[in-house]
Amino acid sequence: MAEMFGDVIQNRMKLFDERVALEYSSDGRFMVVIVGGGVLVLRGYISRSTDDIDILKADHRIYSLMEMYDMNGHVNAYINHFPFNYEDRIELFWAGQKVDFYIASLEDIVISKLCSYRGDDLEDANLVANYVDWDLLEKLALGDNELKASILNDRIYNDFLYNYNNYVKRFRLCED
């Protein structure tokens, strides 16, 4: 895996799309949902590099090609760290020849990072706090049909709430 900044990520996406177009020329379009630090780099929220492009959702037929382009399809093991209705908020980032690359919302990514206890994930959440839609973040964190509906158990949700409440205390500006 290589250090990737926004231009490198976009180049990997382009090369991947070209390869998919060669391998599956007669098939329809494919959808890929990018999450994690790669989205934060692509959107310019953070200036650090990322080691890979985290893919939360992709057609099973193209998984075998993803690793060649530093795309990590193992992220779907953490689907429970994303609010249940995350797909309602994905946005088309780039449409290639055969692959439509979608990105998760900033708020969905922050929720997933607050579910993690990795230092890099929590630091990423801290770095984007000024860009967060706090009302949406609260809905995703506390609403019955969002993270609560997808997280594995109460203990994990309570651990998330600890991180979330600290995050709100540290970064949410008072609204008068």
Per residue in 5-33, pLDDT tens?
889 999 999 999 999 999 999 989 999 99
- Give the pLDDT of residue 173: 77
Report the number of distinct structural domains present in the chain: 1
pLDDT bin (cut points 50, 70, 90) of residue 176 is very low
pLDDT above 90: residue 100? yes
- Give the pLDDT of residue 111: 98
In a domain, 82, yes or no: yes
Residues 72-100: what's their mean pLDDT? 96
pLDDT bin (cut points 50, 70, 90) of residue 175 is low
Domain that holds residue 123: 6-170
In a domain, 20, yes or no: yes
What is the average pLDDT value for the chain, to the nearest integer?
A: 94
pLDDT bin (cut points 50, 70, 90) of residue 1 is low
- Give the pLDDT of residue 117: 81
In a domain, 1, yes or no: no
pLDDT above 80: residue 115? yes
In a domain, 129, yes or no: yes
Instruction: Name the residue with higher pLDDT: 174 or 59.
Output: 59
In a domain, 148, yes or no: yes
- The per-residue b/e assignment along 122-156, b for 16 or more CB within 10 angstroms, e otherwise, is bebbeebbeebeeebbbbbbeeeebbbebbeeeee
In a domain, 175, yes or no: no
In a domain, 162, yes or no: yes
Residues 123-141: what's their mean pLDDT? 97
